[in-house]
Structure 1
């Protein structure tokens, strides 16, 4: 059984973590294909919007410590493989490309949070542009419970999304939040009844996939630039990207109109 499922629907690609018996906890066998799936979605021109979700009753409960997490394939230190610490870093950093790709790919990404999310899962959710949650969703940093510092971009994303004070509260105190509490804090973008979550998420994703893709490409680039760039540099980029986006969109619309006239 595949641990990462891919589904395409009218320009929307849904990537589903498929270990429902473990609340989609992460092991090497799921993290590697997840990163590959995100890379493929990023470069596939037929994909206009990406949804990430979990099978069953949860989104992602973080690393599967019982199964060894990312460390199962680490071998004894050697001149060829390096130390166990070096191997662990390289292996985990490669898996964490999932978060970079979701954040940087030039198309909107949505985390459809259908239940508990914790640990590395909050990094994956935070990497997405939007987070739609069902009322059964919860939110837990969980890193304090295993004496860990955070991974999958979790400390970076949530500092950017919520501000440093709110992020430190989440990580240091490690309190589990209900869906309503997480929504009130701005963690979840929208909150739906569980039976409406998939329908509402797909409706928004299809609208994004059908929208001005070049506009969204440069819009996302501007928003990402704003996270770190100085104001003047961001203005320069906005001015440049405005021209690139509108010219690309106009060209696409002209070609579409031309094709419609030929077909009609």
Structure 2
């Protein structure tokens, strides 16, 4: 089911346990306006409370998102903090929501778009994808949590290299740096990504959600405190009759092979 969001700068589709959020301004290479930013924020908050297990974030057309649409805005004064409210927190939601979040990247991915992609759990790209932080190229310091995410994904030194020089990196360079983890041919990207996402949707729902929670806890807890939390969650998954039945069935299958 596709749910248009206001002027349809963002589209949301739910197919079983898989949600897909599409940045939908292909005529502007999915450049970000204040309206789109607000719609992304509203959309990810709604998905976070849904029954979805996995969220794909993608762009319509041939690009993921090239950052702020500087020439496409209304031409008024730059937005103020009051205008923006909490909409820049979309990256925080993408990072911390219980669903596994996957950025599926084709074409250009820069600026705010790169910040959204970096906030996701996983990034898969086509071989023609191109990446840049881009912020300093237009004289701004950055948004969408880009520096926070890049520091953790790439390490402090490489993150600063990406941020300070705002160079353009091809798909192989992004893979080598660890920013993306899988590359696909452009004509296979979205189908392969959907297949992989659906395979995650078929995993045990509670175990998948608690594994995501473990990943988040590991970012800030010392190991002894983490292991206590990890053990509590592990016991939540093991203390279920249906799990015992599945384990017993698997044991019997292995014995018969």
| TM-score for both structures, normalised by structure 1 | 0.85
CA pair 144-18 structure 1, distance change in 2 beyond 3 A? same
Which residue is 1:66 aligned to?
71
CA pair 152-71 structure 1, distance change in 2 beyond 3 A? farther
CA contact (8 A) 1:6 1:16 kept: yes
Q: SS of the counterpart of 1:117?
A: strand
- Write out per-residue CA displacement over residues 13-64 of structure 1, whole angstroms, 9 at most, x where no aligned residue: 110000001111111221111111111111012x111000000110011111
Which has the higher mean CA deviation after the structures are superposed, 157-166 or 63-72?
A: 63-72
The alignment's C-alpha RMSD in Å is 2.2
CA pair 35-69 structure 1, distance change in 2 beyond 3 A? farther
1:12 deviates by: 0.8
| TM-score for both structures, normalised by structure 2 | 0.87
- Write out per-residue CA displacement over residues 95-134 of structure 1, whole angstroms, 9 at most, x where no aligned residue: 1221111111112110000111000111100111111101
For structure 2, the 5+ residue unaligned runs are 1-6, 247-257
Instruction: Give the whole-Å Cα distance in 2 for the aligned partners of 1:251 and 1:94.
Output: 42
CA pair 183-33 structure 1, distance change in 2 beyond 3 A? same
Instruction: Give the whole-Å Cα distance in 1 for the aligned partners of 2:195 and 2:75.
Output: 35
CA contact (8 A) 1:57 1:114 kept: yes
1:253 deviates by: 5.4
Which has the higher mean CA deviation after the structures are superposed, 123-132 or 208-217?
A: 208-217
Q: SS of the counterpart of 2:68?
A: coil
1:25-174 aligned at under 5 Å gives the runs 25-45=31-51, 47-68=52-73, 74=79, 88-92=80-84, 94-174=86-166
Which residue is 1:7 aligned to?
13
Instruction: Give the whole-Å Cα distance in 2 for the aligned partners of 1:51 and 1:203.
Output: 11
Q: SS of the counterpart of 2:172?
A: helix
